[in-house]
Amino acid sequence: MVKRSYRTDKITVHWNSELCIHTAACLNALPQVFNVGEKPWIAIENAGADEIAHAVEKCPTGALTYERTDGAPDEEAPSQTTVIPWPNGPLMVRGNIAVRDARGNLFTAGPRFTLCRCGASQNQPFCDLSHRRIGFRNNPQVVSASRETAQSPQDISPTTGP
């Protein structure tokens, strides 16, 4: 696992490789900052703090997070929790999310996570793209549905599968 931080005097961006599944959402949102063809791959000086924060919030996995160091507000978790099934892939969850282990202990918390749905991830409960390796296919009716719960915060904890 690699954890790196990139700083200006206005914002610090954190990247956690363990959660990154290379969706390219950050690259598409702000290619002058997020560019895997360059080293370092995050050129934080190439955009303003607001633009960077906006791009980071597009990362569906929570691999990217930020802290504002200029007095601007940090990312605010949505007041409602949204769970969207990615076709033949993971569940994309946004909200004020606490991920807990089977005993109810807090594992991690954040506003964005991408959770394993195929059961094959080696990085449970998070997606590691194993759904592609095993050829996971979901019920097409499930894909068209998105579910919003009434309120955040929400706890996510494991249960025994079928």
Binding mask 36-65 for ligand SF4 (x = CB under 6 A): -----------------------x-x-xx-
Among 6, 11, 23, 97, binds ligand SF4 (CB under 6 A): 23
- Cβ proximity to ligand SF4: between 25 and 97 the closer is 25
- In whole angstroms, the minimum distance from the beta carbon of 102 to ligand SF4 comes to 26
Q: E strands within 36-138?
A: 64-68, 82-85, 91-100, 106-115
Buried b (16+ CB within 10 A) or exposed e, 45-56: eebebeebbebb
- In whole angstroms, the minimum distance from the beta carbon of 154 to ligand SF4 comes to 21
Q: Which of residues 63-82 bind ligand SF4 (CB under 6 A)?
A: 63-64
Distance CA 99, CA 107 (A): 5
Alpha-helical (H) ranges within the chain are: 25-29, 49-56, 130-134, 140-143
- In whole angstroms, the minimum distance from the beta carbon of 9 to ligand SF4 comes to 23
- In whole angstroms, the minimum distance from the beta carbon of 150 to ligand SF4 comes to 28
The answer to whether 26 contacts ligand SF4 (rule: CB under 6 A) is yes
User: What number of H helices and E strands is found in the chain?
Assistant: 4, 8
